[in-house]
């Protein structure tokens, strides 16, 4: 399926386009923070690309992650700008979502509005419960692939894939694979060269962290 997400140059109003990372209690931190770091650095370093990254939770209040990190989102579902890309992380909080009809209905509504829907780790299971993966190839956390298939037998599960790009829906395997997915999205939205530049920045930051003297 071809990329249907237009770049800012195609926006006749010249308004920035928005990437939103959804946060919730018991989110797996790296699922959200990994992609957020990629998108935040890119959009700040290259504002002329015409994209902005933000975070939001259901009510705009801080959330507590699986590993106790407390994150303060920028927005609530009500105040977040209209999104062009949605990132739905995983984490133990996904379990309650599987029977939360309000959340699943919200996801279906977003699917009708948001050009590119992405999930990380067990976020793919929530997508499956919402019916977003019907008849599609998809991946997720390796320990939850059978669960995805049991929720929706029409899903073409792809074990071992870091991410699966099916055009308007991208699913991602566990944890750090969300960073790979985010770089892939940058490549789609702008260019492979831009994604490589973002990755080089990450590598420089990692190298500096390892080489910095201890206390």
**Distance in angstroms (rounded) separating the CA atoms of residues 23 and 114:** 17
121, 183, 186, 190: which one is catalytic? Answer: 121
In the annotation, is 36 catalytic? no
Q: How many CB atoms lie within 10 A of CB 160?
A: 8
**Distance in angstroms (rounded) separating the CA atoms of residues 205 and 40:** 14
Sequence-ordered list of residues with C-beta below 8 angstroms from that of 166, at least 6 positions apart, any chain: 1, 136, 137, 138
Longest Cα–Cα distance in the chain: 54
**Distance in angstroms (rounded) separating the CA atoms of residues 189 and 206:** 25
Exposure letters 197-207 (e unless 16+ CB within 10 A, then b): bbbeeeeeeee
CA-nearest of 166, 105, 103 to 134 is 166
**Distance in angstroms (rounded) separating the CA atoms of residues 161 and 137:** 11
Q: Which residues are catalytic?
A: 121
């Amino acid at each position: 399926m071809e990329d249907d997400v237009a770049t800012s140059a195609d926006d006749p109003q010249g308004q920035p386009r928005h990437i939103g990372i959804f946060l919730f209690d018991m989110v797996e931190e790296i699922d959200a923070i990994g992609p957020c770091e990629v998108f935040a650095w890119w959009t700040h370093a290259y504002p002329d690309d015409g994209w902005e990254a933000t975070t939001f939770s259901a009510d705009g209040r801080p959330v507590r992650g699986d590993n106790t990190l407390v994150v303060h989102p920028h927005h609530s579902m009500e105040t977040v700008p209209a999104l062009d890309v949605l990132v739905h992380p995983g984490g133990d909080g996904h379990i309650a979502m599987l029977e939360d009809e309000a959340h699943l209905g919200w996801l279906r509504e977003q699917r009708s509005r948001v050009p590119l829907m992405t999930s990380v780790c067990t976020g793919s299971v929530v997508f499956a419960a919402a019916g977003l993966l019907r008849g599609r190839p998809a991946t997720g956390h390796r320990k939850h692939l059978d669960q995805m298939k049991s929720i929706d037998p029409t899903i073409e599960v792809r074990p071992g894939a870091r991410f699966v790009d099916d055009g308007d829906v991208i699913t991602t395997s566990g944890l750090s694979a969300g960073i790979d997915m985010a770089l892939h999205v940058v490549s789609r939205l702008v260019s492979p060269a831009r994604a490589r530049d973002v990755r080089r920045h990450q590598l420089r930051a990692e190298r500096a962290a390892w080489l910095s003297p201890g206390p």
